[in-house]
Structure 1
Amino acid sequence: MARKEPVTPAVRVLRAAHVAFTGHPYAYQQGGTGELAALLGVDEHAVVKTLIMEDDAGAPLIMLMHGDRAVATGRLAKAVGAKRVQPCAPEVADKHSGYQVGGTSPFGTRRTMPVYCERTIAELPQVYINGGKRGYIVSLATVDLLRVLAPTLVDAAQPMV
């Protein structure tokens, strides 16, 4: 019997925006984007992480980053006009997004937050991004991601340590 795909707030947003996407349910296990990329047979660079971060005033924001890169928080802070930016604690991120860490999607968040996207993501033809539930990834054309989210493109990638 095939796994039933979830209807999350993210899926509802994508459908309402008439975005063609493919769902990829998988057995969730904590880890990184490398395992997911291997499971799907795709380049980890095309797997996009949705990170809930906050500036020095505690204001939340969404940062979209390649799976094989980390966020240079100093460069991101400069881009957003803050003194510093840091990842939110998991329970704070859950509260802002309405999603559980490991299942956070930039689509259909509980709270409207500014969205920032690593500039080189815009160069990819297709991305793989969380569909709003642990164990559920969606693939879609990058142009649709950019159209729906209208993110600010920034240069904040650094190699993983």
Structure 2
Amino acid sequence: MSDPTIRVREAARERGLSVVIRERPAASSLDEAAALLGIPAASIVKTLVVKRSDDTYLFALIPGDRAISWPKLRAVVGVNKLRLPEPELALAATGYERGTIVPVGSTTDWPIYADERIVGERIAMGAGAHGYSLFVDADDLLSSYGAVVADISA
């Protein structure tokens, strides 16, 4: 069987991003994944695919111990309406299943909005396949994708 994280690795290399991808046992929650990796939940960054009313998308990067703040995100994006898409729409928009989504290697480079709390941190996130985690310096990720950094979580 081929490595399911190849697309992520190749996309990281193309952007000059240094990433480490670690295989881990399946986790049924973010807290369980954090325990398996031996890191705090805040160090795992959730990549949320968010749908705009014009059928385009964006990525919201939120620390694992926090939730997306819809009013804050709408204000930063400058729109009145945003929502989480159905799993099949998220897959079509990114090429990744929920729980594995990462901006790196997404089939479309949607804009990234990152919560300011991840700046300066080494973070873990989805790696494009179940049972894997990607580790990257948040600042390198944010600068390589031109992310908008703001207070977007609660």
Regarding TM over 0.5, the answer is yes
For the pair 1:105 / 2:105, whether they are aligned, the reply is no
Q: Structure 2-normalised TM-score?
A: 0.91
Q: What number of residue pairs does the alignment pair up? A: 153
Identify the residue that residue 12 of structure 1 maps to in structure 2. 10
Identify the residue that residue 24 of structure 2 maps to in structure 1. 26
CA distance in 1, matches of 2:5, 2:32: 24
For residues 34-91 of structure 1, what are the alpha-carbon distances to aligned partners after superposition, in whole Å with 9 as ceiling and x for unaligned?
Answer: 1111111101111011110112333211111101111011210111011021111111
CA distance in 1, matches of 2:16, 2:111: 22
Identify the residue that residue 77 of structure 2 maps to in structure 1. 80
Report the residue type matching 2:113 in the other structure: Y
CA distance in 2, matches of 1:152, 1:20: 20
Identify the residue that residue 137 of structure 1 maps to in structure 2. 133
Q: What secondary structure, in the 3-state scheme, does the structure 2 residue paired with 1:49 have? A: strand
Further displaced range: 14-23 or 50-59: 14-23
Identify the residue that residue 67 of structure 2 maps to in structure 1. 70
Identify the residue that residue 149 of structure 1 maps to in structure 2. 145
CA distance in 1, matches of 2:101, 2:16: 21
CA RMSD of superposed structures (Å)? 1.6
Flag structure 1 segments of 5+ consecutive residues without an equivalent.
none
Kept in 1: contact 2:120–2:137 (CA 8 A): no
Kept in 2: contact 1:55–1:83 (CA 8 A): no
Distance 1:74 1:34, change over 3 A: same
Q: Structure 1-normalised TM-score?
A: 0.87
Kept in 2: contact 1:5–1:23 (CA 8 A): no
Q: How far off its partner does 1:5 sit?
A: 5.4
Richer in strand (by share)? 1
Q: How far off its partner does 1:147 sit?
A: 2.4
Q: How far off its partner does 1:141 sit?
A: 1.6
Identify the residue that residue 127 of structure 1 maps to in structure 2. 123
Q: What secondary structure, in the 3-state scheme, does the structure 1 residue paired with 2:71 have? A: helix
CA distance in 2, matches of 1:107, 1:115: 11
Identical counterparts, % of pairs: 25
Identify the residue that residue 90 of structure 1 maps to in structure 2. 87
